[in-house]
Structure 1
Amino acid sequence: MSWLSRVRNGIPFLPKRQVADNLWHKCGKCNTMIFTKEWEDNLCVCPRCDHHDRIRSHQRFGMLFDGGDYVKLAQPDAREDPLKFRDTKKYVDRLRAARASTEERDALINARGTIEGRTAVVGVQDFAFMGGSMGVAVGTAFVAGVRAAIEAEAPYIIFTAAGGARMQEGILSLMQMPRSTVVLAQLREAGLPYIVVLTDPTTGGVTASYAMLGDIQIAEPGALIGFAGQRVIEQTIREKLPEGFQRAEYLLEHGMIDMVVHRADLRATLAKLIGYLAPEKEAA
Structure 2
Amino acid sequence: MHQQRPRKTFAFVSSGTSDAEEAAAQLSRAYGQAPVGDADVIVALGGDGFLLQVLRETMGSGKRVYGMNRGTVGFLMNEFRTDDLQERIEAADAETIRPLEMETVSADGRTARALAINEVSLFRQSYQAAKIRITIDDKVRMDELTCDGVIVATPAGSTAYNLSAQGPIVPLDAPLLALTPVCPFRPRRWRGALLSNRSTVRFDVLEEPKRPVNAVADHTEIKSVLSVTVRESSTLTATLLFDAGHSWDERILAEQFRY
| TM-score higher than 0.5 | no
Q: Which has the larger Rg?
A: 1
Q: Structure 1-normalised TM-score?
A: 0.23
Higher relative contact order (CA 8 A, sep 6+): 2
Whichever structure has more helix as a proportion of its residues is 1
Q: Structure 2-normalised TM-score?
A: 0.24
